[in-house]
Structure 1
Amino acid sequence: MHHPGPPRFVAVGDEVELAPRDPDPAATYAWTVAAAPAGSTATLGDEPVEYFNPDEPGRYVVALDAPDGRHELTVRAFPGGLAPASEAPSYPRSGATETTADEAAAGASGDAGDGSGRTDETDGTPADPDGGGRPRLSLSATVAGDDVVVEADPRPHPDGAETAADLDVAVLFDDRDDLDREDARIADGTVTIPLDAVSDRARVHAVAVGRHGYSVPDAVNIRLDGGDVTIQRPYDPPAWAEDSVIYEIYVRTFPGQGSDAATAGGVFDAIRERLDYIEGLGVDTLWLTPVLSTDDAPHGYNVTDFFSLAADLGTREEYERLIDAAHDRGMRVLFDLVCNHSARAHPYYQAAVSDPDSEYREWYEWRGPGEPETYFDWELIANFDFSHLPVRRHLLDAVDEWAPLVDGFRCDMAWAVPNAFWREVHDRLKARDSEFLLLDETIPYIPDFQAGLFDVHFDSTTYAALRRVGNGEPAEAVLDAVEDRARSGFPDHAGFMLYAENHDETRYLVECGRPEAEAALGALFTLPGAPMVYAGQEFGQRGKRDDLAWAHADESLREHVRRLTALRGERPALATAADLERVEYDVREGWDDRVVAFRREGGESDDAVVVVLNFGAEPATVAVDAASSATDLLTGESVATVEGLRVDSVAVLPAAPSGTRR
């Protein structure tokens, strides 16, 4: 169906990209504004992909005439003063200086979604300086007799003066559903839908609205199959992904120097031969950097054919054998999906530059005669033009080609691809497999990507904090970073991937030191989120993209990782859903600002632990009253001293349940 997807919540001044789904490049599509608030002069043009700009607060209906009929989409526009502070990171395009991931992430904390510079809904004056920002919202639904009752749980900004009672809830029904809407009742954040008003499904979308903005949307999906009612939360991450342990493999250098398999073009087989080792680390998810045909750049992100594998890595049979072997071990595999651009060596780009009349000229964005648009002056890529339907069709076909083989996509440069395209990918894949994972690389992260675009997000804010702490900043910054998720506007159900290094960054051990690297690993496995280990990080690899030095592994560091993965799997208190709480502690020996302690408690279990991280170069002695025992659960040994607890880099200690601690 060509329907453009779920209803949109926006603010006046925002631009809404409108595109037919599952597009036929040869078909004719036409957009019109079917309904608008009084005083609006907003219009639409005659292109298949249009950009709609609401100019008055209120409800709009835009209509798409497509080969399969007429489709309507509701757009709810709030006053411009309620717009999120930053919908997307601002990355330099051609001719600008590259911004590092560190710089981008460091600048994100505290800026996104804090209401700074916004105007209030009533008179256009600056918002109240009360520390407020975006509220948050989650929806739940239950069957009550002959009705389904959807309840909204609005939550104010953590630093604001507003309360939940101060927030309004705006609700939209999905235009794609056959629902007798006049029978549904909406009152005080509660939606009551009679089951006999639902044909086969009803989707409810909502946001919380406060003085400083509106929340990331949430949704529930109500399905009827005969007399059975199923309720889904489509924006929740797959359960397996929230607590997965991810292992990134930079495919071309993973086998190591002199590997016979890699030299012969058998990289997939060489990785498969290491699966027992990877499983032994406690890993359950593999992220392979790009495996498609590419130019000479070894990283693989410059794709020359979106439908074939790189010959130097192996055959399709070998690739599928690798995936099957991982699945046999209970491990999942993530495919690195590149959609923003192709290599300039791609045949379509070559045709576009060699012939001005080529059909492929329209596939790319151009900044001058013969010069494609790029980011960061990357010389070997050319950005696709997503307003051109054949581009969308080509990339959706590539998604369909590779998704059935794997368990998820790590989406490269997700911020540089239109949101409407990602929404379509999300819905397209989830309709086939609700457990398929979409992980976005966006630095800094974007809260609105949680609403039907991606399931799990690179936690670039915590990454940047770990780097700063490793270079001398007070260790409390890692807790500030985790708390910034809510301050930025992410709902509680959002998923995050925690990392301290990857193939784009200097190895943490090289930049910050060996003791700091142990503490950073401790943070990854004890803070809420899915920890990611970059291949070689577990044994002290120093080069970020070099051949892995398997023969020179630091066995004690590797054992540290094994203990962390094992403990995280054993203790409910270390799961992503477990609560995190700051605790009081006293550093008796060592540097006060190199130590941080916190408590984790399992949601439905009584399991509780206290974690102490020491980023100092020397051991610290720490007194923590919240710990009920001096036994370090990582090693099974006591860390008690006369003055307190000895912490080399990380200690995980038993804690009494809430209300019973000593």
Structure 2
Amino acid sequence: MQRRFAGEQRASELPSPSGFTLHMMRERQIPWWERGVIYQIYPRSFQDSNDDGIGDLAGIEARLDYVAALGVDAIWLSPIYPSPMADFGYDVADYCDIDPIFGDLEAFDRLIAAVHARGLKLLLDFVPNHTSDRHPWFIESRSSRDNPKRDWYIWRDPAPGGGVPNNWISDFGGSSWEWDEATGQYYLHAFLKEQPDLNWRNPEVRAAMSDVLHFWLGRGVDGFRIDVLWHIVKHQAFPDNPLNPDWTPDVTERDRLLQHFSTDQPEAHEISAEMRALAEDYGERLLVGEIFLPAERHARWYGTPERPQVHLPFNFHLIESPWDAAHLRAVIEDYEASLPGFGWPNWVIGSHDAPRIAARIGEAQARVAAMLLLTLRGTPTLYEGDELGIGHVTIPPERMRDPQHFRQPSLNIGRDRSRTPMPWDASPHAGFSTCEPWLPLNDDWPTRNVAAQERDPGSMLNFYRHLLALRRAHPALSVGSFTMEKAEGDVLSYVRQHEGERLRVLLNLGPEPVQPLTRQAESVRDVLASTLQARPYDGTLLPDEGLILSLAPEA
């Protein structure tokens, strides 16, 4: 159960945990999110309670004991606001209500009370860059050029020779500009045309969105994951983005340009700092900012000790990296080196937008990935279903729902395969619903489900539970220092240390046995976890094996 610490200092006022002295660690009260683990729930796909094939808030409430038993600390919900569902909730039509698909505000209040009763936290997905085109704000904005809300969105005249105002490309492909015949101007949309971008240079927009944050914080939410935060301000002159010299047609059309002027503008950092100050008025609240940038630019979203920004700029490096030990070692070291002294790291290997980790690298290496995620320094985020090892899912063309797939079908980048319903048991529809779910289940759901894995001591689910229990039992794995060690070939090796406890993590990312540290085998006191069957450590790593080793104290 999570405890709230009285008199807690801001993380931004303190140096990085990797440099803490033991005195400093004892003196500082560590916020829950530095020790904790976040679990992302995609509400449509977690549990259906009203027999419509779509998950809902009451369904999540009914499954909270499962979430608590995993050993996580917080739940992050993908959007549950009223929406036409053009992008499945990321097109918001009302920021201060619940879509009837999921329930209502009373159902939400029951859910948050049930979450807190189990010692868990609840984070909402906040979508500040854009609304639905059916949001009342946009309906007013497009009604006429002189409407008071016209400047709440980004409208521009055609280019001097006619056509779109600049060359910006939507993240879903095609131009970022949509023509509005009634008012004779284009509006900007970084994603679908049904998702017009808000104008965050307008102080009225900033005030309205601050009211949204106050609304939910006042209802007791413990923080927010902030969608596409680096998008929210655009260059004031709207120049063309430069061409990407490395682009090839087998990647998304968006990447044909470098988004120099459409994302990551200096003014956005001030908005991020304002959000942080607002959240801190409510005590120990967490802001996770979705930031997709190189490490050195990514780190700027922590802000400064005097003007902190989001607590955790979301780190996607493990999702985007090739599964190669040398590459991952460099990514981890570069990321750690990029952090400001007060910045706390975070890691993720799966989400509703990314291919399943087991589909990418296979089930054996997915166990290695789980051990990596849960033993690196920083806050991990798990994605529902990854703890079951759900891999590739077959979705017939007629069942596909993701607009990203339909915009660029030749790239096969649809996200439906990561959003399939949670398989709870071997009953019809896997215990998710009493009717056909909105997306197909994973192909092997009769055997790969929660009930089956709970009965199997060696299952992926029980492996995750063991790793999460170790994080709780050994502070070295959550708040300890981190030291990457030299290793050759397919091996990652690092040491976590806290108040005299030393743990070594060894990960074999390859198919051959290796002997990474035979000379130091005598310093091993115990094997705390293995991705394979438990065994004494003999200086050898088996294929696809990861180990957490307890070491003797340093002389």
TM-score (ref. length: structure 1): 0.58
**Equivalent pairs: percent with the same residue?**
28
Matched, 1:342 2:131: yes
Q: 2:98 aligns with which of 309, 319, 326?
A: 309
Q: 2:348 aligns with which of 481, 491, 499?
A: 499
Alignment correspondent of 1:650: 546
Matched, 1:373 2:276: no
Deviations 1:202-222 (A, max 9, x none): xxxxxxxxxxxxxxxxxxxxx
Superposition RMSD in Å: 2.8
Q: 2:216 aligns with which of 402, 410, 420?
A: 402
Alignment correspondent of 1:564: 467
Q: Is the 8 A contact 2:44 2:54 kept in 1?
A: no
Q: Is the 8 A contact 2:45 2:55 kept in 1?
A: no
Decide which moves more: 331-340 or 384-393: 384-393
Residues in 2 aligned to 1:647 and 1:608: alpha-carbon distance in whole angstroms: 25
- SS of residue matched to 1:493: coil
Residues in 1 aligned to 2:282 and 2:12: alpha-carbon distance in whole angstroms: 24
Q: 1:548 aligns with which of 409, 413, 422?
A: 422
Q: 1:632 aligns with which of 518, 527, 535?
A: 527
Matched, 1:429 2:279: yes
Deviations 1:54-101 (A, max 9, x none): xxxxxxxxxxxxxxxxxxxxxxxxxxxxxxxxxxxxxxxxxxxxxxxx
The answer to which structure has the higher strand fraction is: 1
The verdict on how the C-alpha distance between 1:618 and 1:271 changes in structure 2, with shifts beyond 3 A counting, is farther
Residues in 2 aligned to 1:429 and 1:644: alpha-carbon distance in whole angstroms: 48
Deviation at 1:335, TM superposition (A): 1.0
Residues in 2 aligned to 1:307 and 1:238: alpha-carbon distance in whole angstroms: 32
Alignment correspondent of 2:334: 484
Deviation at 1:593, TM superposition (A): 2.5
Q: Is the 8 A contact 1:287 1:334 kept in 2?
A: yes
- SS of residue matched to 2:44: coil
Gaps of 5+ in 1: 1-136, 141-152, 159-235, 586-591
- SS of residue matched to 1:307: coil
The verdict on how the C-alpha distance between 1:315 and 1:266 changes in structure 2, with shifts beyond 3 A counting, is farther
Q: 2:287 aligns with which of 425, 435, 438?
A: 438
The verdict on how the C-alpha distance between 1:524 and 1:237 changes in structure 2, with shifts beyond 3 A counting, is farther
Q: 1:616 aligns with which of 506, 510, 513?
A: 510
Alignment correspondent of 2:358: 509
Residues in 1 aligned to 2:356 and 2:335: alpha-carbon distance in whole angstroms: 25
Residues in 2 aligned to 1:562 and 1:284: alpha-carbon distance in whole angstroms: 13
Residues in 2 aligned to 1:621 and 1:274: alpha-carbon distance in whole angstroms: 43
Deviation at 1:647, TM superposition (A): 6.2
The verdict on how the C-alpha distance between 1:238 and 1:321 changes in structure 2, with shifts beyond 3 A counting, is farther
- SS of residue matched to 1:263: coil
- Report how many residues are paired: 410
Alignment correspondent of 1:169: none
Residues in 2 aligned to 1:624 and 1:304: alpha-carbon distance in whole angstroms: 60
Q: Is the 8 A contact 2:371 2:467 kept in 1?
A: yes
Residues in 2 aligned to 1:383 and 1:541: alpha-carbon distance in whole angstroms: 35
Deviation at 1:351, TM superposition (A): 2.6
Alignment correspondent of 2:62: 273
Alignment correspondent of 1:293: 82
Deviation at 1:645, TM superposition (A): 4.5
- SS of residue matched to 1:308: coil
Residue type matched to 2:374 in 1? Answer: F
Gaps of 5+ in 2: 1-10, 19-27, 158-183, 233-267, 392-416, 426-444, 454-458
- SS of residue matched to 1:593: coil
Deviation at 1:557, TM superposition (A): 0.9
Q: 1:464 aligns with which of 312, 315, 320?
A: 320
- SS of residue matched to 1:596: strand
Residues in 2 aligned to 1:443 and 1:560: alpha-carbon distance in whole angstroms: 30
- SS of residue matched to 1:380: coil
- SS of residue matched to 2:128: coil
Matched, 1:251 2:43: yes
Residues in 2 aligned to 1:521 and 1:558: alpha-carbon distance in whole angstroms: 11
Residues in 1 aligned to 2:65 and 2:13: alpha-carbon distance in whole angstroms: 41
Matched, 1:419 2:269: yes
Greater relative contact order (CA < 8 Å, ≥ 6 in sequence): 2
Alignment correspondent of 1:104: none
Alignment correspondent of 2:311: 455
Deviation at 1:265, TM superposition (A): 7.5
- SS of residue matched to 1:479: helix
Q: 2:485 aligns with which of 583, 592, 598?
A: 583
Q: Is the 8 A contact 2:38 2:72 kept in 1?
A: yes
Deviation at 1:624, TM superposition (A): 4.3
Deviation at 1:500, TM superposition (A): 0.7
Deviations 1:518-570 (A, max 9, x none): 11111011110111110000002232012223332362111111111011111
Deviations 1:380-438 (A, max 9, x none): 211111222221121111111011221111111111232222222211221231x1111
